[in-house]
Amino acid sequence: MASRFDKCLLKRLLRFNSDIAPKPPKAGGRVELGGVAGSGTVGLNVDGNNLRLSFPDSVARADVSLTNRAVVDASGESSGDIQVQGRRVTLTGDSQVLSSNSGAGAGGTLAVTASESVELSGDNTYLATSTSGSGSAGNLTIETRKLTVGGGAYITTTPPDLAEGQGGDLMIRASDSVELVGTTADGNSSGLFAQVMQGATVNVPP
């Protein structure tokens, strides 16, 4: 039986394929989202072909909010990295942040850093790394003071059924609290998922 994430991903890919292109992209690229509340200089770190934004520690962070089915997607045959930084990071209304690997190489990572809180709310609202190919899924890391996942939202590194690749590590570092509460209308629970599906493996670090 297909996992809940597998079904959501399938619906999203079908819409992508029919509306935009005949197949998923070759490479996922890199996505950087950052909220800065004051003036300052955002640096650009260069490591070969990899570019990464560097936000100054001295400048207060601003909120980052994804609502009304907003999607941040770095999926592809070589899925890309996604980094989100802010004061409060909020996903609601079926919004999604996803890096899914469909190739043979290593998948991209997803890192969310929020000085105050990370909150996900609502059915089909999620943060996810995954793999549908022989390559591994990327790791998913959240660093914040308070994490709240409610209303059936979820965070996952679970590969789809029968995927050959290994699932990614799911790492949550919350200095204050982690709260998982509520379900969807049809009873699916909010949660953190790093399940092992048939034919796949996943790491859960201590």
Q: Is-above-0.85 flag for pTM?
A: no
The span from the CA of 172 to the CA of 178, in Å, is 9
Is 53 a member of any domain?
no
Nearest by Cα to 91 from 21, 153, 184, 3: 153
- Identify whether the C-beta of residue 46 lies closer than 8 Å to the C-beta of residue 74: no
Is 51 a member of any domain?
no
Domain coverage including residue 177: 4-37+61-193
State the pLDDT at residue 11: 35
Is 201 a member of any domain?
no
Is 200 a member of any domain?
no
Q: 21-36: b or e for each residue (b if 16 or more CB lie within 10 Å)?
A: eeebbeebebbbbbbb
Asked whether the predicted pLDDT for residue 20 surpasses 80, the reply is no
Strands, E assignment, the chain: 31-34, 43-47, 50-54, 64-66, 71-73, 82-92, 96-101, 110-121, 126-131, 140-150, 154-156, 170-181, 191-193
Read off the tokens for 155.
């965070």
DSSP 3-state of 49: coil
Is 109 a member of any domain?
yes
- Residue that wins the pLDDT comparison between 87 and 20: 87
Asked whether the predicted pLDDT for residue 200 surpasses 60, the reply is no
What is the number of structural domains in the chain?
Answer: 1
The span from the CA of 119 to the CA of 112, in Å, is 11
State the pLDDT at residue 27: 56
- Identify whether the C-beta of residue 3 lies closer than 8 Å to the C-beta of residue 197: yes
- Least confident window among 113-127, 129-143, 184-198: 184-198
Is 49 a member of any domain?
no
pLDDT tens-place string over residues 147-195: 999 999 999 987 776 667 788 899 999 999 999 999 988 888 999 988 6
pLDDT tens-place string over residues 54-90: 777 777 888 999 999 999 999 988 888 999 999 999 9
DSSP 3-state of 197: coil
| H and E: helices and strands count for the chain | 1, 13
Is 52 a member of any domain?
no
Is 22 a member of any domain?
yes
Asked whether the predicted pLDDT for residue 18 surpasses 50, the reply is no
